[in-house]
Structure 1
Amino acid sequence: MRVTIFCGSSSGNSEFYAIAKEFGSFLARRKHTVIYGGGAVGIMGGVASGVLEENGEIIGIIPELLYDKEMGNEAVSNLITVKTMHERKALMSDMCEAFITLPGGLGTFEEVFEVWTHAQLGYHEKPIAFLNINGFYDKLFDFVKFASDSGFIGKKFLDMVIIKDDFDELLKAIENYKAPKAKY
């Protein structure tokens, strides 16, 4: 399976990097192709290092503007340089069969909320998962549930995302995913 990983270009302030690296290794050992933001820094770099240590396939997609800042990772199987973030996100979406979100900041949130919105509208039926390392996304999902309870997100679109903290459980849920009927 080809999975797009959304994650931070920073390492965070915990063991996020080590777990991201372990997750990259886990995916490679199971012969999944990883598509990610193309950098060698932060959580992105951890995922890439884990995949590469297992001789797995990893495709990086990085905008020209970020190539030097995020240290475009020439060690990956295929590094694609694009002009804009829009091109990066479109390729990351088109090339994968599932999305997995690890800890990150605004860019990570923006990427996953875009594909979540697209799924709600029926542009794709790919699973969207969060590897909720150390409860990183708990407060975000408290708010998303509040938005749902307030009538802004249909319950089936709240429930459509997969939230797990265990690697095996996450992949099993992705493999068994059935998309809900689109909003329109």
Structure 2
Amino acid sequence: MRVTIFCGSSSGNENFVNVARNFGEYLGLTGHTVIYGGGSVGLMGAVAEGVMSKNGEIIGIIPERLYDREAGNENITNLITVKTMHQRKALLSEMCEAFVILPGGLGTLEELFEVWTHAQLGYHQKPIAFLNIDGYYDGLFDFVKFVSKSGFIDKKFVDMVIVKKNYEKLMECLKNYKAPESKY
């Protein structure tokens, strides 16, 4: 499976880094292709390091402007440089069969909400899964459920995402995913 991973260019805490690296190793060992933001720092770098340590395939996509800031990773299978963030996000979305979200900041949140919205609207039927390390996204899910109860998100679109603490279970759920009927 070709999996796009959204995660931070910062590290957060040491457990986030360890889980990200271990997840990368698992993906590399099990023959999945990883597509990610192309950086060699933070959780992005940890995932890439894990994949490459097991001779897995990993494709990075990085805008020219962020190449130096996120330390564009030349030690991966393929690094694609693009002009804009819009081009990066389009390729991250087009090239994959599923999305997995690890802890991250504003960029990660922006990416995950875009693919979640696109799934709701029927632009894709790809599974979206959160590797919810140490309950990182618990507060976000509480808010999304509140928004749903307030009448702004149909419950089926809240429930459409996969949330797991274990990456092996998460990957199994991706294989068995059935998309809900889109909003339109």
Q: TM-score under structure 2 normalisation?
A: 0.99
What SS does the corresponding residue of 1:26 show, helix, strand or coil? helix
- Residues 140-163 of structure 1: per-residue CA shift (max 9 Å, x gap): 000000001111100000000000
Matches within 5 A, 1:70-89: 70-89=70-89
Matches within 5 A, 1:32-181: 32-181=32-181
Structure 2: distance between partners of 1:136 and 1:145: 16
> What is the letter of the counterpart of residue 114 of structure 1?
E
> What is the letter of the counterpart of residue 95 of structure 2?
M
In the TM superposition, what is the alpha-carbon distance from 1:56 to its structure 2 partner?
0.2
- How many residue pairs end up in the alignment? 184
In the TM superposition, what is the alpha-carbon distance from 1:168 to its structure 2 partner?
1.4
> What is the letter of the counterpart of residue 159 of structure 1?
D
Q: More displaced, 59-68 or 10-19?
A: 10-19
Percent identical among aligned pairs is 71
In the TM superposition, what is the alpha-carbon distance from 1:167 to its structure 2 partner?
1.2
Structure 1: distance between partners of 2:14 and 2:2: 28
In the TM superposition, what is the alpha-carbon distance from 1:102 to its structure 2 partner?
0.2
Matches within 5 A, 1:26-37: 26-37=26-37
Structure 1: distance between partners of 2:113 and 2:34: 20
Which runs of 5 or more structure 2 residues have no equivalent in the other structure? Answer: none
Which runs of 5 or more structure 1 residues have no equivalent in the other structure? Answer: none
4+ residue stretches of structure 1 with deviation over 3 A?
none
- Residues 25-76 of structure 1: per-residue CA shift (max 9 Å, x gap): 0111110000000000000000000000000000000000000000000001
Structure 2: distance between partners of 1:135 and 1:28: 25
Structure 2: distance between partners of 1:145 and 1:48: 33
In the TM superposition, what is the alpha-carbon distance from 1:13 to its structure 2 partner?
2.7
> What is the letter of the counterpart of residue 69 of structure 1?
R
